[in-house]
Amino acid sequence: LPLCRVLPKLELHAHLNGSIRSSTLLELAAEHSQNGAVSYPELVSIIEKEKRSLPETFKLFGLIRLVTTNHQVVTRITREVIEDFAAENIIYVELRTTPKNNPAVGMTKRSYMEAVMAGFNTDSIAFNRIYVRLILSIDRRETTEAAIETVRLAFDMRQEGCEIVGIDLSGDPAIGEWKTFLPALTLAREMGLPLALHCGEVHNPEEVKSILDFHPERLGHVCCLDDLEWQALLASKIPVEVCLTSNVATLTVPCVADHHFVELYKAKHPIVICTDDPGIFCTTLSREYALAASCLDLVSEEVVKLAKEAINLSFAEPQLKQTLHQLFDFSHLKQA
């Protein structure tokens, strides 16, 4: 773990509201329980559970949504998440979040994103300790039109110079159909926005096949694949975002040692170690690297190589990729 702490790291799969500090979540829940919006005891009991099934996890996301409703809270969470990532030597993060409308507080998808970017006002960013880029998520509950609205927003804001680098498809995998999102994802591709899509979190061979045929730039999870799809994944060489603790905590895979990333690593398939939702699953990227390293029996050089390979899998602009390479070359890993 000491090496994994000092290791410069890139986080390519972290959901903003899944990265919320537990202390902030409890504070917000206590405020909202006073007006009856959430049940504080229920929230505490879900947070305190070490493992929760995927449906329970999405119940928790529903509760988080209820307490993260206004612009100030969104800005605060973003700032705290960036500071927490920078504190464990994450030098680059692609933070993903779902733009939300909330007419009750005058929130539109755009104003939500502006509130997120107001959270970039941190010392860590000012002093280049961390570079932050954004991926806009389409929630699987959304309609085709709502998904297209998110893609257009990403395109427009990127044109305006905002740090938006891609599009994600996430949300409860038991909900929604591929054909609903395909028009928005096709539009994103036409607009030059790379795609990092959640794939195979539940058994859904038809959707997995469609996603693999669509060939997104990256895939998240890929836990529940049949043999045929697994072979197609290996042949595709599509990089996989590996979220060990999240997959075990949501009971999607039985244990880290049996996780499919072992086979991906041995097959030299491109992978990147990520946290998914460090706040929800009480983990850190350093811990995820330590888990991966012990599971794969890696020596220090191999851990550094694994972390460094994330640069090429990121959606960072070429010049920033160069800077990140230099940060690895100049880091003092040998002292660890």
The Cα–Cα gap between 164 and 123 comes to 20
15 lies in the binding site for ligand 5GP (CB under 6 A): yes
Contact 336, 37 (CB under 8 A): no
Per the listing, tokens 């928005």 go with 184
Amino acid at 18: G
Going by C-alpha positions, the residue among 115, 148, 139 that lies closest to residue 61 is 139
Write down the catalytic residue from 142, 201, 241, 288. 201
Residue 129 CA to residue 123 CA, distance in Å, equals: 8
Smallest gap from Cβ 280 to ligand 5GP, in A, equals: 7
Contact between 163 and ligand 5GP per CB under 6 A: no
Told to check if 119 binds ligand 5GP by CB under 6 A, we report: no
**Residue 17 binds ligand 5GP (CB under 6 A):** yes
Stretch that binds ligand 5GP, among 1-9, 33-41, 169-177, 232-240 (CB under 6 A): 169-177
CB of 2 to ligand 5GP, least distance (A): 28
In the annotation, is 201 catalytic?
yes
Q: Does the footprint of ligand 5GP cover residue 288 (CB under 6 A)? A: no
Rg (C-alpha) for the chain, rounded Å, is: 19
| Smallest distance, ligand 5GP to C-beta of residue 169, A | 8
Q: Measured between alpha carbons, how far is residue 299 from residues 2, 117, 286 in Å?
A: 13, 38, 15
Contact track, ligand 5GP, 222-251, x by CB under 6 A: ------------------------x-----
Window 199 to 218, contacts with ligand 5GP (CB under 6 A): 201
Does 171 interact with ligand 5GP (rule: CB under 6 A)? yes
Q: Which backbone phi and psi does 301 adopt, to 5 degrees?
A: -60, -35
Q: Binding of ligand 5GP at residue 98 (CB under 6 A)?
A: yes
| Residue 286 interacting with ligand 5GP (CB under 6 A) | no
Residues 29 to 88 in contact with ligand 5GP, rule: CB under 6 A: 61
Rounded least distance, CB 327 to ligand 5GP, Å:
26
CA–CA gap between residue 93 and residue 95 (Å, rounded): 6
Pull the structure tokens for residue 331.
Answer: 């880091």
| DSSP codes, 51-106 | ---HHHHHHHHHHHHHH--SHHHHHHHHHHHHHHHHHTTEEEEEEEE----BGGGT
Give me the amino acid identity at 179.
Answer: K
- The span of 33-41, 78-86, 166-174, 285-293 binding ligand 5GP (CB under 6 A) equals 166-174
Q: Annotated catalytic sites, by residue?
A: 201
Contact residues toward ligand 5GP (CB under 6 A) are 15-18, 61, 97-98, 137, 139, 170-171, 173, 198, 201, 246, 276-277
